[in-house]
Amino acid sequence: MESKKKYVLDANIFLEYIYGRTLQDLARKLLIQAITGEIEIFIPSLALDEISEVLCGNMDNIEQIASHLHYIEKLIYEEIIKVFVPNTKVRLKAIEIARYGSKKGGYPDFTDSLYHALAILQQAIFITNDKKHLAKAKDFGHIQLLSAAI
């Protein structure tokens, strides 16, 4: 039996969908594929905080914010999205990724590296819109931009 493709979604993928940005249709397609059982989606627990932080600062209507957060919680409750609290193994891999780079080219952000580490350890692909993280950490593999995901 062929195993399902696994993806770790960056918080910015959910925001692409929520705010109707350019790649909204690709973000929606990933969620639909997870809902229909074609793929598996993972997120680190910090993704929920990052999404909430952006909504807090950029969306005035509290009922609208609640609606988006409830929908994500529903997907988690139904196990369409699997949430992981990063353990030491994930954190150490994230530190390895975040220390990769140079003073001239810069280093990957630790938070982004947590997503990336989770993807590596879950044998998944980290889907992001963060071109800077991709450029700095592409040597670790397990990463691609949303625009190339489907």
Confidence of residue 3 (pLDDT cuts 50, 70, 90): confident
Quote the CATH superfamily of domain 5-147: 5'-nuclease (3.40.50.1010)
- What pLDDT, in 10s, does the model give residues 77-121? 999 999 999 999 999 999 999 999 888 888 999 999 999 999 999
pLDDT of residue 7: 97
All residues at 6 or more sequence positions from 44 whose CB lies less than 8 Å from its CB, including other chains: 8, 83, 84, 85, 86, 90, 114, 115, 118
pTM over 0.85: yes
Please give the Cα distance from 72 to 104 (Å, whole number): 38
